[in-house]
Structure 1
Amino acid sequence: MDAGLFPRPRTQIAPGAVHVPDWLDPARQRELVAACREWARPPAGLRTVRTPGGGTMTARQVCLGWHWHPYAYARTVVDGDQAPVKPFPDWLGELGRRAVTDALGSEEATSAAYDIALINFYDGDARMGMHRDSDEKSPAPVVSLSLGDTCVFRFGNTETRTRPYTDVELRSGDLFVFGGPSRLAHHGVPRVHPGSAPPELGLTGRLNITLRVSGL
């Protein structure tokens, strides 16, 4: 359906978890896609993440500020080319704080000094299993920005990877923030809809920019 005819409402999915549709305008989306393409270049570029059990994540990843590897942070790409992690830009931190203010209010954003970005690239077959963002020392809210193909984002509970959970459709430009009692909720991406990205974005696949405060 045409999003202009049927606008999607801002929705609280759970306490502290808010979906804000169309938060990024088309121009800002294009700027972020261009930035992601630069960040994805080696050294310390886009990589396949391998789990301790020998498996691989289907979504590929590049990190800024701190390099995440299962299940810790480092200053170099310890599970890749060993290069220093790319710097986290100040403007991205400002974007994160503005996102938290818009979604949860200014009090939540006051102490949020964002210093990590995990950028995941999903092709049409990529998925993300249910997991918690629990390797940070800070309880600051997680900010998630979607670019490109639409996905199903499954937002669950703090106790288990199974039900209860809520499936949310995230389109290009959408914002999702979760903090407070939902900060350690399990979440994942069970499905991506290939070919659903806005044509003017020039992106095949989905990019997810996740901003966190390390507390390290």
Structure 2
Amino acid sequence: MTLELFETEAPWREPLAPGAVVLRRFASGRDAALLAAVQAVVEAAPFRHLVTPGGFRMQVAMTNCGALGWVSDRRGYRYDAHDPDSGRPWPPMPAEFEKLAADAAAEAGFGGFAPDACLVNRYLPGTRLSLHQDRDERDHGQPIVSVSLGVPAMFQFGGTRRTDRLQRVPLAHGDVVVWGGPARLSFHGVLPLKDAQHPLLGASRINLTFRKAG
């Protein structure tokens, strides 16, 4: 299928589990504004590789925007209002980010979502994200909204136990995954990124993950 044909396809829904859905191409028409906003965030708070509490360097490069940012170091995983590298508050969440997150959550059945944290992750060929749960937020009644931009990735989505069966979900540029309700604490991850090219982002993938953390 050519890129031109792909770009003409309308968005559609793909259920994953009760409370979880892929909104295919939901962000495609907003990609230029989103990527410009990503660039502004990165200029204020550059990408970095965090260290886990166990002392391991994370493969995914990341930064944050919004009132709170997710950080990790020898002291543990947590949210902080300040960038530990600069001591300054994280960049404000761009209006384009807030609207996309709210629109996607509402489309998935979670109206009124107002994220206060956005993790901006950058994947390069070979980068993976280990299977994990998003547990550091205070209110697990709020959903997670995850936006894919750039090179395709293979997303893994399971249940609330690590041993539950994993679905392999291919994600392309513009796809948005939303999970909440009974799926809120589902294990998820990303398999190693394949070496590919995207017309806007080259060999990289950008993932925006929106959360209500505080």
Give the alignment's TM-score, normalised by structure 2.
0.88
Contact conserved, 2:158 with 2:166, CA < 8 A, in 1? yes
Match of 2:40 among 18, 38, 41: 38
* Alignment: residue pair count: 205
Aligned-partner residue type, residue 73 of structure 1: Y
Tell me which stretches of 4 or more aligned residues in structure 1 moved more than 6 Å.
Answer: none
Identity %: 33
Q: How does 1:67-216 map to 2 (within 5 A)?
A: 67-70=69-72, 71-78=77-84, 80-102=85-107, 104-105=108-109, 108-110=110-112, 112-138=113-139, 139-160=141-162, 162-197=163-198, 199=199, 201-214=200-213, 216=214
SS at match of 2:182: helix
Q: Which residue does the alignment assign to 2:28?
A: 25
Deviations 1:128-184 (A, max 9, x none): 001111111122111011000000000011111x44110100000101100010111
Contact conserved, 2:28 with 2:175, CA < 8 A, in 1? no
Aligned-partner residue type, residue 95 of structure 1: L
Question: Structure 2, unaligned stretches of length 5 or more?
Answer: none
Give the alignment's TM-score, normalised by structure 1.
0.87
SS at match of 1:55: coil
SS at match of 1:41: helix
Paired with 2:93 and 2:24, the residues of 1 have a C-alpha distance of 25
Contact conserved, 1:150 with 1:172, CA < 8 A, in 2? yes
Deviations 1:54-104 (A, max 9, x none): 1011110111121211311111123x33332112234422221110112x2
Contact conserved, 1:150 with 1:196, CA < 8 A, in 2? no
Deviations 1:7-54 (A, max 9, x none): 68521111111011111234x112211211221124x32111111111
